[in-house]
């Protein structure tokens, strides 16, 4: 398991459509990888937000998809020192 793979599985992880074996691997990875933990949280939040709000006509699912992509890319390409503060 690595970070790229881990992030690629987030969606299925949240949809609970992964087999137990993979879930265990994901969780094991996230125990040791802070980046992925933070990212899963961010990802979950994004999903929750996009589901909670009945998408107003000005926000297309297109935009939400793009937002998710931006989030994922930000985590993996920039290696930024400043992670979003997570409580």
Footprint on this chain of Zn ion (rule: CB under 5 A): 3, 6, 33, 36
- Is the CB of 55 or the CB of 76 nearer to Zn ion? 76
List of residues 6+ apart from 28 with CB closer than 8 A: 1
Instruction: Give Cα 64 to chain centroid, integer Å.
Output: 13
- Is the CB of 44 or the CB of 51 nearer to Zn ion? 44
Q: How far is the CB of 70 from Zn ion (least distance, A)?
A: 18
List of residues 6+ apart from 38 with CB closer than 8 A: 75, 83, 84, 86
- Is the CB of 3 or the CB of 67 nearer to Zn ion? 3
Q: At what angle do helices 20-32 and 34-52 cross, to 10 degrees?
A: 120
Q: How far is the CB of 5 from Zn ion (least distance, A)?
A: 9
Q: How far is the CB of 34 from Zn ion (least distance, A)?
A: 8
């Amino acid at each position: 398991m690595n970070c790229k793979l881990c992030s690629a599985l987030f969606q299925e992880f949240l949809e609970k459509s992964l087999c137990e074996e993979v879930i265990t691997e994901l969780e094991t990875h996230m125990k040791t990888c802070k980046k992925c933990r933070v990212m899963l949280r961010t990802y979950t939040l994004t999903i929750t937000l996009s589901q909670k709000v009945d998408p107003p006509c000005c926000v297309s699912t297109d935009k939400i998809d793009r937002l998710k992509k931006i989030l994922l890319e930000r985590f993996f390409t920039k290696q930024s020192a400043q992670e979003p503060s997570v409580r």
